[in-house]
Structure 1
């Protein structure tokens, strides 16, 4: 199977996808209600789409093509309000967060869709362990080579994305000591990690052809990379974010990606090379483990510095590009949270310390998603 041509898209447009938890309102464990939610949501005229995910305790929403983080926020808000109304009819709740704190993977059911059953047969128990919840951000690129340049430029900011979005400290009822434990489940898949460092679409097509000849890959969906091209949309897709607890935070993260892409595409400030990836896995681990308190190793200089310091500096550097994209409000919001060292993993831990009951943490998180 050959690679799809890279479609035309408007540069710096946005699309946001969120994988969300469906929980009952008795003990706040995951509930197998995806089919019922899809049936009720089909009655609403909404932007974007609502689709099933791997297991029946989860659902995915997505926006239409947006031009700004505020437009994405508006669309996500409309979909959220419809989700809440539908969930209330079923006596369940919808929750953000990268993991459900105490669900048992073996109790999950694969959603009845051919691709999900195929993945379950291939990956075994990993498929049910993939009951984790992430945010994906698409950003439009004017051509395929620019898409690859943007991909490699954004790869330097993978730890920043992870730390800002981290919301998965609990797994199977335990505090993992990670801010983002969700990504540990992603790393178990053989085609996860980083994209190859190729700089032209012709080279990427050659790489894809080699992979398909091995029989390991049939389409771009088979790559679980942190960032991957999405040729049918004319975008690249950033995939490392935990699902935030609120749609406001999700939209702000999209604004940060858009501002970085604007800087990269207009200024061409870096020269991507394989050496950029020497510290990639280490930086990613640091962000997953320590969140905003991680250490960041600059791939160009080898300098070690607090990730939060590098993150705050990036907000200052991106200010003019954020203004051009209408994303200044997004960066201001993220700046305040980063400066205070407050991501959603910290909120979840503080709630658990206060309540000493993970079901109550989920109940309060569902209230945050409702925008109460």
Structure 2
């Protein structure tokens, strides 16, 4: 099976941000995506490619950027679309919000989107798909050839715990504190083609793998392979999908900058003849679990002898290493926003702090998440 790869000449950037529609009175998720998206398309014009689209449930809208050169450009693109959607949501008593899970809305109360693809998914996956009331941020970075895509996916897997810890924002599920920093990542792993990527040897093995999945009827295309990191042949990118939903534009920009800098550095290293390291899958799996459980307090393994370091310190060191790359890519400010997240805490930490102050009232958590979306910055 030949899979053509639309190579990207530069480390271009694209972001997908899954946004929740929240009823301002009840603080519950409420379905209105179809009517809002119809009005949005009318507003921008029928012939204009939309920057917002359906997700699995009617209470979710995915906001996407075009192909951007810089993180600042991607943030501006997202902000413009969010402004239009906010204007359409407010008259309906709805507000926009993002976190890996809604703190208390039940998945069994939510209406499926009209897209036939999602109805097919539910028919095949049943209860597993019905539970997918979860929200994430995906970052695409361009790579210059298919020969680089698999080595970059493999090497980027080392950083799965870093990204998951930074973005962890789903401590609550159905009104209960799960004890996890990221319950979303565990729910998502229920899908048979989700979770950690297979660490393949090259593009030919990826083609062989996809041919087997398609011919067996497991998937229709790469769109049905929901790995934490995957190559995206049509876009010519590597797509990072591990992150929980991020409540603020600042955090989205920080994650995007970290992703772009890492992939760009790997691109350059390959050009210089360097062989990117492929981590042991068992180590990645253990580190992912530790990040999902403990967030930025996780102690992750940094070698095959079991040496552990705090992921918070590993992230700070990584930012320092990548600053020269970030200056070249014009995203140094956004990359240093990663340090701001380390200072104020990830969203899961901030949510729990709000709940403690409110004697466990999760409506107060929703109010804070709504405020953070409006202010674009984490609230201390």
Asked if Structure 1 and Structure 2 have the same fold, meaning a TM-score greater than 0.5 normalized by the shorter chain, the answer is yes
Compute the displacement of 1:337 (Å): 2.2
Aligned to 1:104: 106
Compute the displacement of 1:199 (Å): 3.2
Partner residue of 1:125 out of 124, 127, 133: 127
Distance 1:37 1:367 in 2: 21
Compute the displacement of 1:148 (Å): 1.2
TM-score after normalising by structure 1: 0.95
Partner residue of 1:346 out of 345, 349, 352: 349
Distance 1:337 1:134 in 2: 17
Distance 1:196 1:128 in 2: 25
Partner residue of 1:272 out of 259, 277, 289: 277
Distance 1:34 1:116 in 2: 14
**Does the 8 Å CA contact 2:100/2:136 hold for their aligned counterparts?**
yes
Aligned to 2:324: 320
- Aligned residue for 1:244, secondary structure, equals coil
Greater CA deviation, 50-59 or 80-89? 80-89
**Does the 8 Å CA contact 1:24/1:31 hold for their aligned counterparts?**
yes
Where structure 2 has 5 or more consecutive residues not aligned to the other structure, the ranges are none
Compute the displacement of 1:8 (Å): 2.4
Distance 1:350 1:38 in 2: 35
Greater CA deviation, 204-213 or 289-298? 204-213
Compute the displacement of 1:361 (Å): 1.8
Output aligned runs, 1:56-71, within 5 Å: 56-71=58-73
Q: Hey, which bits of structure 1, 4+ residues long, moved more than 4 A?
A: none
Q: 1:66 to 1:107 in 2, by over 3 A?
A: same
**Does the 8 Å CA contact 1:277/1:299 hold for their aligned counterparts?**
no
Where structure 1 has 5 or more consecutive residues not aligned to the other structure, the ranges are none
Aligned to 2:310: 306
Aligned to 1:115: 117
Q: 1:287 to 1:3 in 2, by over 3 A?
A: farther
Distance 1:186 1:123 in 2: 12
**Does the 8 Å CA contact 1:178/1:290 hold for their aligned counterparts?**
yes
Aligned to 1:359: 363
Aligned to 2:84: 82
Distance 1:77 1:231 in 2: 27
Q: How many residues are aligned here? A: 369
Partner residue of 1:145 out of 144, 147, 152: 147
**Does the 8 Å CA contact 1:84/1:370 hold for their aligned counterparts?**
no
Distance 1:270 1:177 in 2: 39
Distance 2:245 2:43 in 1: 23
**Does the 8 Å CA contact 2:13/2:260 hold for their aligned counterparts?**
yes
Output aligned runs, 1:203-222, within 5 Å: 203-222=205-224
